[in-house]
Structure 1
Amino acid sequence: MSDQQNISRTVTIVIASITNIVVVSGDASNAYVTLKYGEQESETSKISEIESSEFSESFSFRYTPDAEDTEIIFGLCVPDESGEVYQLGQFSLPIDQITQDVEHVTFTFIGVGELEGQEVGIIEFDQSYEETNEEEEQQAEEEQQDQPAEEEEQPAEEEQEQEEQPAEEEQPVENQEFTKGKLLITVIGVKDVTAMDSNGKSDPFIVVKFAGQEKKTKKVADTLNAEYNEKFDFDFDSATTEDRDILFELWDYNTFGSDEQIGKFKVPLQEVGTEKELKSYPFTGIEKQYGQKVGILDIEQKFEKQQEEQPTEEQQEAAALKQRKAKQITQEIEKQP
């Protein structure tokens, strides 16, 4: 058998977002995507089940270069008002177009049925493949299966020594559940902001909300990339608030009329460390920009745990004096007949 016949590939599709959905009936938020390659079939969650419409759902399909099936079929589906599922549109991805390096791509669903020929949705995903040699893979599995048998053939004395050794105590996993302290956020800047004004620009500013507190950056006019370098502190006490998520909002300032929110995202407090970290987070659009990437925020984050207060010298002296008096009283009681 030739080396080419032994080669197989595993294609990985990581879906990022599904946007601009057009429906005949039913709710677009219940839409989902099916993926089919040969007899292998998968489907995503419904959009309404995905937080912030960011999927990050991964699907894998295994094939050989000489396989008869040459395309992955993507279908966009949605339940109608009666609950019956119908297909809005589809497209085909030639499997030989997928590269070994990860590539971010965008495809358009073309309508079927009543929407035939129309654009009914847009999907973004990362695609790549890994190549494996089936013969080498099988050999590695066999070697791995043989390994435990070798380990079992230990001399009886060695086994006895191991049994007599006290078991090592498991190291406790650090609990990242904070109780009291201060959240420190430095909003460095935002980039690739969606244009909201007629001049192709926006006037972006950032709102940060946490534990009933709200902080805002300055507004930067006529730009899609703004720098702030503003520091915000948020007090946190788990006994007084149930809030465990930090909410970041991207807004467009309007001189006349109300400001317009462009996007948002949340960061769980438990993901914030006690050392300073530089992080980049994508904003996900709302309303007209629903589900789209509308900007990227750069921040520095850190949580400072509140240290227990040490008693002052006066408090220590008072405590020692109280202890001496208590001891003296006890001695006097013991001397009484």
Structure 2
Amino acid sequence: MTRWDAVRVRQGLVDSCSSAEQAGDQALRKGRPREARRHYERMLAESIRLAEQFPDLSTRRDLSLSFNKYGDFWVGADRLDQAAQAYEEGLAIAGRLREENPDDIRLLRDLRFGESALGEIALRTGGPAAQDTARDRFTTALALAEHIVEAGPLDPADRRELGALQERLGLLAAERQDLDEAARWYARALAVRRELAAELKGDAQARRDLGVQYERLGDLALRRRDLEAARAHYDESLSLRRALLGDDPRDLATQRALSTLCERLGDVALLTEGPEQARQWYDDSFAILDAAYGPRHPETRTLRKKLRSHPASPN
């Protein structure tokens, strides 16, 4: 095969992989998962052929990413065993590539993704052993995330992933009833997210992440019955969510988050001020959800039922 022939064959395989991936994505958007699976499997087969015929860093990394994409598909189909197998394949390839290319930051990101994805699958599997596996995976992913951020440049996406992993480890600690450890992880995540929100003033995602972190801290303080701290954290989150809603009044996710925060502030008020003040927050919570989803939506009806049976209810 001449050099020109090799270039042509390689480009043909690259184009075939890309075409199959795009077709799979389109089939998923149209709600046709069986068709999407066929396209993704063709993508994977072509990626394997490409890496076997032209085994350089680029093609082998693309093969790792193809396995990750296939894993994403199985997660969406709720087939966690198949997803885990695909992610493990992608992670193994990325690990071998990193041994050969220790300074390539892209490979660190690939490893971080694989460890985190397998941690999420372990969590969904359930059980104490799965919790331990998830914690180990997230701890490994966090070490990679720290290495990436230290290596620089300080990419906001890398720092956002760092904060997300710190928060995830905090959530796991809270589930184990280790509230002190959870507080330490949340404090670290808060510092990262405060810095990002300050630097990226117009970035809605940075403000949203910060709002979530304050809400986590409020939940933790409420569990500890530190009611003043809980109220302060919830107030911070509420201010951030209200500002986001001002930017996009039709944002249903933010409206739902606001409703939840009003309900939590009602819980705090019930314990500190009494049922009258609590009921004002609960009424606000319901009004937001009712306006966003309508009175017949399952979430609205569930909240109405919950509030009617609440100690602060006038009925």
- Quickly name the TM-score band, shorter chain normalised: under 0.3
Larger RCO, structures 1/2 (Cα 8 Å, 6+ apart): 1
Report the structure, 1 or 2, having the larger strand content: 1
Higher CA-based Rg: 1
TM-score by length of 1: 0.21
TM-score by length of 2: 0.22
